[in-house]
Amino acid sequence: MFKTFPKGGIHPPENKLTADKPTVILPVPKQVTVPVSQHIGAPATPVVEKGAAVLAGQVIAEAKGFVSTNIHSPVSGKVSKIDTVVDTTGYKQTAVIIDVEGDEWVTTVDRSTALEKEITLTREEIIERCRQCGLVGMGGATFPTHIKLTVPAGKSCDQVIINGVECEPFLTSDHRLMLERGAEVLTGATIIMKALGVERAVVGIEANKPDAISHLTELAREFRGITVQPLKVKYPQGGEKQLIKACTGREVPSGGLPIDVGVVVQNVGTAFAVYEAVQKNKPLVERVVTVAGKSVTNPGNFLVRIGTPVTALIEAAGGMPDDTGKVVNGGPMMGKALAITEVPVTKGTSGILLFPAVAARRAEVLPCIRCGKCSSACAMGLEPWLISVLSEKGMWDQAEKEKITDCMECGACTYTCPAKRPLLDYIRLGKSTVIRMAREKITK
């Protein structure tokens, strides 16, 4: 009954410290910083000026190009300035900084919590609404949702998979969302099914969330075509390709997309955001963020407005512990350490983890002993030791032949390496170089 993907995978300690902590709504901060690029694709263009009064839910930056989304004001108040700030990526980018005044929303937004199950919009209207409301994949990749909901010409889709795996240790924001807003998530799934014109949806949930599995199985009886698929606990099951293999047995070809095997995967967070956008006309201006760590006094799941400083989240969780050595944005496996905590929460921030310095420091790098642990851990069937060395030595052609671009950067290889080699660091460098070179070749 419990399914999983066959190749590779690891079992890091789960550490789901906040699984039983109900989501707490964090008060609106005094000032928010909203970066104009919170998604994959072209940054949005700011359409408000300094001193302008904005309402919560109002568009403050418009999508530029096809792969891009709108950015909405998460609060009401006055635009203090438009400046360059450091965001969670560690790089500087343009952001709209808003001084908060009250909490006035755009009148078209329905802020009631009543469940709205009747879907009145047509397929095209749903996709247009997702575009207008600035929806992106909430799992962390932040790919604009409206593009994923548009089936490209020549391709067909017969199944939707809702990703409730949350295989990253520590993170529990999706888990809490499924428990607390399960009906909304499933309604969102139904909307996604309608947008794609499919009859079947599977919600994949790992076995370490039995309460979510039973809760959603119960609820799914009232939703046509939706089933819940319990999955064995294994990292990186939340990866699109692994989840598709686990749920349907289909294998996405190398270099292909899920749509090539007739599947579209959406995160539960995205399904909830789709529900809010379509049924309540509410743009994506808030999200659930897990704040956790072994020495955090009050770890929890917090519903925050986009643009809230990470420091406010850490305060809410009882302040930064004295022994903190690393603050990670996202999960411990794929997340990225923050250079400074004065950065805003963006659409893709799933968790803020505070690790003690002792646990966070990387160990001394030793030579590769050819044990092959990384190869057996790789869920994509690659040879991490080889491609990392090829990348280190700048042998890009060879790295391309070894399918370096198939790597999804899950970090399982680095996790298992007994010599503590920074495999993923080099693979990431090689991957970006190979992709860039391939692009240059095309444009030539």
Partner 1 sequence: MSSTVLLTIAMLSVLGLLAAVILYFVAQKFKVVEDPRIDLVNEALPGANCGGCGYTGCRAFAEALVKSTSFEGLNCPVGGADTMGKVALILDRQAVAIEPEVAVVRCNGTPDNAARTSYYDGAMSCRIAHSLYGGTTGCHYGCLGCGDCVLACKFDAMYMDPVTELPVILDDKCVACGACVKACPRSIIELRKRNRKDRKIYVSCVNKDKGGPARKACKVACIGCGKCVKVCPYDAITMENNLAFIDSYKCKLCRKCVPECPTLAILEIGFPVKEQKPAEPAKAETN
List of residues contacting partner 1 (CB under 8 A): 86, 89-92, 336-337, 339-340, 361-362, 365, 392, 422, 425-426, 428-429, 432
Percent helix / strand / coil, the chain, rounded to 5:
30, 20, 50
Q: Which is nearer to partner 1, 53 or 438 (CB)?
A: 438
CB of 325 to partner 1, least distance (A): 8
d(CA 46, CA 43): 9
CB of 344 to partner 1, least distance (A): 16
CB of 203 to partner 1, least distance (A): 34
CB of 71 to partner 1, least distance (A): 22
CB of 409 to partner 1, least distance (A): 12
For helices 182-196 and 268-280, the axis angle rounded to 10 degrees is 80
Q: Which is nearer to partner 1, 158 or 392 (CB)?
A: 392
**Number of other residues whose CB lies within 10 A of the CB of residue 171:** 27
Q: Which is nearer to partner 1, 33 or 150 (CB)?
A: 33
CB of 105 to partner 1, least distance (A): 34
Q: Output 313-317 pairs: Cβ under 8 A, ≥24 positions apart.
A: 313/26, 313/289, 313/345, 313/352, 314/341, 314/352, 314/354, 316/24, 316/26, 316/291, 317/291, 317/292, 317/352, 317/354
Give me the amino acid identity at 101. Answer: E
Q: Which is nearer to partner 1, 11 or 50 (CB)?
A: 50
The string of DSSP letters for 146-187 reads HHHTSPPTT----EEEEEE---SSS--HHHHHHHHSHHHHHH
Q: Which is nearer to partner 1, 105 or 415 (CB)?
A: 415
Q: Which is nearer to partner 1, 85 or 233 (CB)?
A: 85
CB of 166 to partner 1, least distance (A): 25
Q: Which is nearer to partner 1, 385 or 426 (CB)?
A: 426
CB of 7 to partner 1, least distance (A): 26
Helix (H) or strand (E) holding 59: strand 59-62
60, burial (CB in 10 Å: exposed 0-12, middle 13-18, buried 19+): buried
- Pair type for strands 300-305 and 24-25: parallel
Cis peptide before 169 (omega within 30 of 0): no
